[in-house]
Every structure is written in C-alpha cells, then in structure tokens.
C-alpha cells in the first residue's frame, strides 16, 4: 500500500532526492547541484504527500485515475481527488477526452515551471530558480540533441523562393486549432521579479493551442483568445523584432515571441551552444556582401545580437544566428535571405514525443542510465 502519511523526516528527504532524480530523467532534465539549490523549487510546489503520490506515477504515457488506483492500491475516488488536485496546481498535465480525464507526468520545463507562472512574483524561489539556471540547467537544455524550442521564419517572404518546410509556416500551424490561450511569458515575469531592467517587451505573448490551451485556460494561467488575436500577437511581435519560436513538434502546441535580452532559452543557445543548436532552425542566412551598403540596420534588428560589422564594415552573422529572418526583413537592398538547409531532422508528433526523443538521446550518450 502506498505510504503517504506519517513519513519520517529521513523518508521525506529521501523522497525529494528521488523526485529530483526522476525529474532529471525527463526531457532535458533537472540537473543535480552541489549546493542543492534545485530543491527550493521542488519543495515550494510539492508537499511531502505530493512527492509520495508522484513517485508512483507512470511516465511517458497518459494514464487515468482508474489506472493510478490500480497501481497504488488507493480507491478510485481518492485517486481522482489526488490527480485533479495536483493537475490544478500545475504538478501534472491534464486533458479531458471523451468525458474522462487523462494525466501526464511533465518535467520541470516545459511543465511545472510554466504551469506556475502565476507564482513567479514570489522572489525567494524564483531567485533559487535563476541560481539553478546558472549552475547547469541552461547548459543542459542544449545537451539533449534536439532543442527545447525551435525558431521558424517570421514570414514566408524572408525565405528564398518564399517556400518553407512543412510545419514551419507558423500561421498555418496555429490555424489547425480551434482553442487558443495566451499567458504571461515566464522568462519575462522571472526577469521582472528578479529586478532586471525593463526591456519594454510585451508580457503576454506565450500562446498555447488545442488541448494545451484548454489546460492553461482551465487552470487560470491563460486567458482564451481567438485566432485573429493569435495572429495579431504574432504580427506585433514580428514588427517589434522578435524571434518566433515554437516547441519542437509537428503539433507546435506552444508558440512564443522571444528576444535574447529576455529569453532564457535563447540565452542558453547563445551562451552554451551544445548539440541541439544545430536543429534550432531549418534555415541558414545567406548574405550578398557585394549588394550590402553597410547601413547597419541588420545589426540593430537582430534579436540574438548575432550580427557584427567586420573590418571591411560589412555585417557578419556568428553561430548564434537562429534563422528567424528579422535581418532579412529590414535589409533595404535585399542583400540577405534565409535558405533551406539541405538536411533536417524529422519532427516528433507532439511535445511529449520530443521529451522522449531527448531522453533516448541522453541515454545513448550516457547522461541517463538505460532502463
């Protein structure tokens, strides 16, 4: 029988270590540190009882309250109460299909962290979270072979021939859905709480689609919007020089408009690189230096600060370019264009399939023990 009550302090601490270690097995992980700073977030949101319940849950699959009751030996009523409560507190993902709820164990990101964006004004745990980022988490993001988010062209016009690969036309991607939510960008809210300078970025730009949107809306972490409002957010963000990013899946369940000055994911890509950076974009930037008039507009526009003037006063993009196309859009003489890469990776179907792909890669290179 599952033991949840009357745990000793030693059992509680041991369970938090197990939780941390299991979280580290999901997606790009949740790395251990010598300081133990990673436990601040876990203890802020998971009670000792939550941890005991969570450790009994299946991973990499949807499960029902009935299945969880069978695994744990608790009653179906108790299982339903536990799962609904934890999912409403952002500790689990939940969908409602055919009149029943199904649940999915999520990593810290994208997951527990983003699902608790409404608590990002609490400075104690957000300070610890930022500290954990600096103690290995951000670097680990891009050591999982595929990126957490991928960059797509801001529009078709910035691509040579105005033709993009499948799943890279963000307008067509979002139009496949009927339900949309928009929430505060977690990175910008984190920066605000920590007292970072206000860069003037719009706060409410994180778009969720379909079942993910339904979860966000029901949990009160997003407000429902229309497709026209989605397209307006994307248009405004493009005009303000942002990178259009979405999760690494065919479904593109989550879309955000980001800038390296305010986005932890883009900062990780620029600072640490890693294997996954080669898959951030399906395009590379091509520049005709003979056409270039050295006006510097591309340098000012680049949301990654990737473009610098060389000794001949010509703009050159470094390896942190994510192929967004912002520089192409402002070049007055059309000296720049995005060109399709000849070889691209096959996208997994969903965000959760992407997590599994990350996990398998980490196992293959010895970052995780093979089960």
pLDDT digits (tens, 9 = 90+) for 167-198: 999 999 999 999 999 999 999 999 999 999 99
Instruction: Work out the average pLDDT over 111-122.
Output: 96
Distance CA 31, CA 26 (A): 11
Identify the pLDDT of residue 272: 82
Residues shown for the chain: 371
Enumerate the CATH 3.30.70.20 domain ranges in the chain, comma separated: 283-340
Structure tokens at 301: 């526009």
Structure tokens at 277: 């950076």
Taking Cα atoms as reference points, which of 340, 360, 369 lies closest to residue 145? 360
CATH class of 9-134: mainly alpha
Identify the pLDDT of residue 371: 42
pLDDT class of 199 with cuts at 50, 70, 90: very high
Distance CA 220, CA 217 (A): 5
pLDDT class of 1 with cuts at 50, 70, 90: low
Confidence check: pLDDT of 241 > 70: yes
Per-residue pLDDT of 28-77, as tens digits, reads 999 999 999 999 999 999 999 999 999 999 999 999 999 999 999 999 99
Three-state secondary-structure class, residue 93? strand
Confidence check: pLDDT of 368 > 90: no
pLDDT class of 359 with cuts at 50, 70, 90: very high
Distance CA 237, CA 256 (A): 9
Distance CA 331, CA 57 (A): 53
Distance CA 333, CA 295 (A): 10
Identify the pLDDT of residue 6: 86
Confidence check: pLDDT of 116 > 50: yes
Enumerate the CATH 1.10.10.10 domain ranges in the chain, comma separated: 9-134
Identify the pLDDT of residue 370: 46
Per-residue pLDDT of 252-284, as tens digits, reads 999 999 999 999 999 988 988 777 888 999 999
> Which long-range contacts does 6-9 make (Cβ < 8 Å, 24+ apart)?
7/48, 7/52
**What is 283-340's CATH number?**
3.30.70.20
Structure tokens at 93: 């993902």
Three-state secondary-structure class, residue 114? helix
């Amino acid at each position: 029988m599952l033991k949840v009550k009357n745990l000793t302090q030693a059992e509680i601490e041991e369970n938090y270590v197990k939780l941390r270690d299991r979280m580290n097995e999901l997606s790009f992980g949740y790395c251990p540190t010598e300081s133990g700073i990673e436990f601040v977030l876990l203890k802020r949101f998971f009670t000792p009882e939550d941890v005991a319940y969570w450790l009994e849950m299946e991973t990499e699959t949807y499960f029902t309250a009935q299945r969880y009751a069978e695994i744990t030996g608790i009653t179906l009523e108790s299982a339903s109460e536990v799962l609904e409560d934890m999912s409403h507190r952002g500790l689990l993902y939940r969908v409602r299909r055919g009149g029943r709820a199904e649940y999915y164990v999520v990593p810290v990101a994208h997951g527990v962290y983003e699902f608790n964006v409404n608590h990002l004004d609490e400075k104690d745990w957000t300070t610890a979270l930022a500290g954990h980022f600096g103690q290995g988490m951000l670097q680990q993001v891009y050591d999982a072979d595929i990126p957490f988010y991928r960059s797509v062209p801001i529009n078709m016009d910035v691509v040579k021939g105005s033709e993009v690969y499948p799943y890279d036309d963000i307008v067509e991607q979002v139009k496949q859905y009927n339900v949309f939510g928009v929430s505060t960008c977690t990175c910008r809210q984190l920066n605000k709480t920590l007292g970072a300078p206000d860069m003037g970025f719009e706060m409410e730009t994180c778009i969720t689609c379909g079942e993910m949107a339904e979860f966000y809306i029901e949990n009160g972490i997003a407000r429902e919007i229309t497709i026209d409002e989605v397209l307006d957010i994307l248009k405004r963000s493009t005009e303000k020089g942002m990178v259009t990013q979405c999760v690494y899946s065919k479904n593109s369940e989550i879309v955000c408009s980001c800038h390296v000055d305010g986005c932890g994911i883009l900062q990780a890509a620029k600072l640490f690189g890693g294997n996954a950076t080669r898959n951030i974009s399906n395009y590379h930037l091509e520049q005709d230096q003979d056409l270039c008039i050295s006006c510097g507009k591309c340098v000012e526009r680049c949301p990654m600060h990737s473009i610098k003037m060389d000794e001949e006063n010509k703009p050159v993009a470094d390896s942190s370019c994510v192929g967004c196309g912002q520089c192409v859009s402002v070049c007055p003489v059309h000296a720049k264009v995005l060109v399709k890469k000849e070889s691209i990776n096959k996208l997994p179907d969903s965000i959760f399939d992407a997590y599994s792909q990350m996990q398998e890669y980490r196992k293959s290179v010895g970052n995780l023990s093979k089960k």
